[in-house]
Amino acid sequence: MSWPALYAQLVRVNRHSTSLGKIWLSVLFIFQVMVLIVAAESVWGDEQSDFTCNTLQPGCENVCYDQFFPVSHIRLWSLQLVFVSTPTLLVSMYVAYRNRGDKRRLIQVSGFLGNKGQEEELETLKERKLLVTGALWWTYICSLVVRLLFEGGFMYALYVVYNGFQMPRLVQCNQWPCPNLVDYFISRPTEKAIFTVLLATASSICMVLNMAEVAYLIAKYLPLEHILGSESAARLVKSAILRRPNLALLSGLFRATVQSSDW
């Protein structure tokens, strides 16, 4: 998996998020992705090869390993990061949809895009920061809720599958084809327990940040939904008119935006 590519995509989307969303991204990549890449993979690299036992019965080791480690910690955490990061792409798709609609309105107002100034206006639309109102607010809230559910679901799965976040030094197995009750010894149990608790703590912090961001968005933006509406977009385009020299072009976009129901 290309973690830098995922990080670049999330940073691009995070431009439209709140300060809590930026903190969440930092916690995700510093305390989860970096720990997973730098340390955890080397600690769990010898997971099955060093799962030693006091019997040489063929097949016993594989059966007992599957009983106590049905899913690798590393694969479970990697899958968690993929699922947790995916809802953020909903915001990216909606922003792309908004930019495409604004580009279409800009082309309708200007008639034909052929000079450098008009191309710069299109780049301004792509790089702007959208206000979290209207449909973008709902999209952002849905992505946070889905992300929170994924985070909590994987935390629960980790706790249930491994019977907690601690790593035992010795496990016993009597599954067939083992001849009797067999003792198995896990390599690096203390290190694995430390990294498991660390990553579980980072996931808990991410869940708290997600809940705080949902509460913040509801408290700040929901009471203003009926007041702002298209006025928020109007103010955004007004500010663009003041910053850009092409007044006639952006003034036409301002009129088209206020009349549009998409805002």
Answer whether 249's CB lies under 8 Å from 106's CB. yes
Query: pLDDT grade, residue 244 (50/70/90)?
Result: very low
Instruction: State pLDDT tens for residues 116-151.
Output: 555 555 555 555 555 666 677 888 889 999 999 999
Task: Tell me the two tokens of residue 109.
Answer: 């107002």
Task: Flag whether 261 is in a domain.
Answer: no
Q: How many domains does the chain have?
A: 1
Task: Flag whether 23 is in a domain.
Answer: yes
How far apart CA 60 and CA 183 sit, in angstroms, is 11
Answer whether 177's CB lies under 8 Å from 64's CB. no
Order across the sheet with 52-53: list the strands.
Answer: 52-53, 182-185, 170-173
Residue 215 domain boundaries: 3-256
How far apart CA 20 and CA 239 sit, in angstroms, is 25
Tell me, what amino acid is at 188?
R
Instruction: State pLDDT tens for residues 75-119.
Output: 888 899 889 988 888 877 777 776 676 666 666 666 555 555 555
Angle, alpha carbons 148-137-139 (nearest 5°): 55
Task: Flag whether 155 is in a domain.
Answer: yes
Number of Cβ atoms within 10 Å of the Cβ of 234:
16
CATH code of 193's domain: 1.20.1440.80
* Residue 153 pLDDT exceeds 70: yes
Whole-number Cα distances in Å, 181 to 172, 178, 184: 6, 7, 10
Tell me, what amino acid is at 182?
V
Task: Flag whether 24 is in a domain.
Answer: yes
* Residue 32 pLDDT exceeds 90: no
Query: pLDDT grade, residue 165 (50/70/90)?
Result: confident
